[in-house]
A and B are shown apart, each in its own frame.
Chain A
Amino acid sequence: MSDLTKLTLADAVDGLKAKTFSSEELTQAFLGEIASANPTLNAYVEVTGEKALAQARASDAKLAKGEGGDLEGAPLGIKDLFCTEGVQTTAGSNMLRGFVPPYESTVTANLWRDGAVMLGKLNMDEFAMGSANETSAFGPVVNPWKAQGDDAQLTPGGSSGGSASAVAANLCLAATASDTGGSIRQPAAFTGTVGIKPTYGRASRFGMVAFASSLDQAGPITKTVKDSAILLKSMCSFDTKDSTSLDVPTPDWAASVGQSVKGLRIGVPAEYLIDGMPEEIKKLWEQGVEWLKAAGCEIVQISLPHTKYALPTYYIVAPAEASSNLARYDGMRFGHRAEEFTSLDDLYAASRAEGFGKEVQRRLTIGAYVLSAGFYDAYYVRALKVRRRIAEDFDNVWGKVDAILTPSTPSAAFKLGDKQIDPLTMYLNDVFTVTTNLAGLPGISVPAGLDSKGLPLGLQIIGKALDEDTVFKVAGAIEDAAGFVSKPAKWW
């Protein structure tokens, strides 16, 4: 029975359609795995077993009649950033502990429309602010991977650490996640899973707890590139409830996976070769270039000159937007309200100091500062101008290349607690991923190999806006060439 949990999403959906097993069996198998693993891995903040089984039975009834959607009966994990009707949604924060939305996010509504089953809500960095899942009010998520000969617990990355860990440890077939600066791709790279952030505007932000509106995008974390294509298609839709949602059709990307990449021009940006990049990452990147060359791609050396400014730009734009987006958490209409206060202002300040963790407070403070009188032009407006420079860098190379290949992260998974001392060190995790958020481009992380300690490493493919098609093709080629089949040895 536990073998069922090792299935890919694609195989599981096929097996369900073929009635090789039922959704209820599959769901039970996952619930069993979760029950034994979650006390250790802490991937789920809430398991919705009864709801899952009810959904599974409903799916089985449909499947029995030969009906059902693309994901009929497939048990998924949902990042706790997506509002789920009647199920607590916390965004990893004490501020929202006990918050039960009377509404469903568009992304999850799309999944239920297609027949998916919800196993539970996945742990994450508080309000998606973090790169190690250590800022969660529910405690850190543990990476199922461990370095060879070292028993230390590792971070699965963040902010979608619960999603990545759950997929890697077979605690769900696949998971939803979200990415503001790298929060899908970095954890995917740290856990040997596939994570894609689509073009900004592909997935509706309606009902997704906001971090930084102009950067936030939902996307899946899955076991394979094909699974990624399947789940992304289901998550994306044009949604009139989100003014930034793109009015474009959602293609059937799964069909692109496995198609030839022959003749595609792949850009390799000089600026991503950063100082102090570990040799293993550099070698993996070179390996990726060789694989694509072998598959018939043309490799083009390109320059994205403003790359180094992406992180500082991000650390103005994202906190600024967050400082405003998170102003609604004031203890007045929902969320945590302090019990002791001396005045209305004090109630606000006390509720927010108690409800928000340290990193969130830090970013809200930076955000308020860069927008405040006298600093708005110097920080915020300047950052928006540099942001355009960064986006223009990409525009300037699209005539020469069809996709760009980079490493996903500057390192493999690190030990929990390792980078807590200095926020700047932590921020550097997103150095390769954040550019696509600023420019709104699709980016995928594909597991491409193991480092010398046996930890997974990922390669990132960046595509043109709305050209997920090419991104999936190239990702498929890397996946094929890498033949990455390693799974963490089960120790939990």
Chain B
Amino acid sequence: MAIDAATVRRVAHLARIKTPEERLEPLAQELNGILNWIEQLNEVDVDGVEPMTSNVAQTLRLRDDVVTDGDKVADVLSNAPKAADGFFVVPKVVE
């Protein structure tokens, strides 16, 4: 599963990381090196093994349906690059 420049371009877009064209090829090589090393996992017999998503043996706790939070517009907007009238402001989105 070798990665080429086109794949890097696609994945960089998925991750929303602007990557100059000339960086695509070197990045592809770098990632290939890492992924080749990762390929050794194919040696492991994982037949019938349940994927381990967490190492906590307990199950999900549930909280009561009460309002305990919110009403903190100043906090919510305190680090906003741009805000106005209680809203976050972002460049125009065209749908």
Contact = CB atoms under 8 A, between A and B. Distances in A.
Direct contact of A and B (CB under 8 A): yes
Majority SS at the chain A contact face? helix
A200 B46 CA distance: 24
Given A244-B54, A350-B18, A353-B19, A344 B90 contact: yes
A341 B76 CA distance: 25
Interface in A288-312: 306, 308-309, 312
A386 interface: yes
B3 A388 contact: no
Contacts, number: 158
A388 B56 CA distance: 12
B18 A335 contact: no
A312 B37 contact: yes
A102 B16 CA distance: 27
Given A315-B38, A347-B91, A200 B56 contact: yes
A192 interface: no
A350 B19 CA distance: 9
Given A312-B38, A352-B18, A240 B63 contact: yes
B55 A439 contact: yes
A79 to B, nearest CB: 20
A349 B53 contact: no
Nearest to B74: A102
A375 B18 CA distance: 22
A118 B2 CA distance: 49
B17 A369 contact: no
A387 B79 CA distance: 38
Contacts of A308: 40
A448 B59 CA distance: 39
B55 A214 contact: yes
Contacts of B67: none
B41 A309 contact: yes
B80 A333 contact: yes
A144 B8 CA distance: 40
A383 B49 CA distance: 11
Interface residues of B, number: 53
A388 B49 contact: yes
B48 to A, nearest CB: 9
A345 B93 CA distance: 10
A247 B58 contact: yes
Interface in A373-409: 375, 378-379, 381-389, 391
B15 interface: yes
B37 A368 contact: no
A184 to B, nearest CB: 17
Given A315-B34, A353-B19, A382 B41 contact: yes
Nearest to A334: B79
B31 A365 contact: yes
Contacts of A343: 91
A383 B78 contact: no
Contact of A309 (B19, B44, B52, B79): B44
B58 A384 contact: no
A347 B16 CA distance: 9
A411 B42 CA distance: 28
B60 interface: yes
Given A240-B61, A332-B90, A375 B1 contact: yes
Interface stretch (A13-21, A159-167, A356-364, A412-420): A356-364
Nearest to B60: A243
Nearest to A380: B51
A483 B49 CA distance: 45
Nearest to A98: B79
A31 to B, nearest CB: 28
A22 interface: no
Interface in A416-458: 422-424, 438-440
Contact of B34 (A240, A309, A366, A368): A366
A289 to B, nearest CB: 28
A99 interface: yes
A379 B90 contact: no
B31, B44, B76 — which one has the most chain A CB atoms within 10 A of its CB?
B44
A110 to B, nearest CB: 19
A419 to B, nearest CB: 14
A349 B54 contact: no
Closest 5 CB pairs of A and B: A440-B55, A384-B51, A334-B79, A385-B46, A349-B18
Given A316-B38, A387-B52, A440-B55, 14 more contacts: A102-B75, A247-B58, A315-B38, A327-B16, A332-B81, A333-B79, A345-B16, A347-B90, A362-B31, A369-B31, A382-B42, A385-B46, A386-B46, A424-B33
Interface of B: 1, 3, 7-8, 11-19, 27, 30-31, 33-35, 37-38, 40-44, 46, 49-58, 60-61, 63, 72, 75-76, 78-82, 88, 90-93
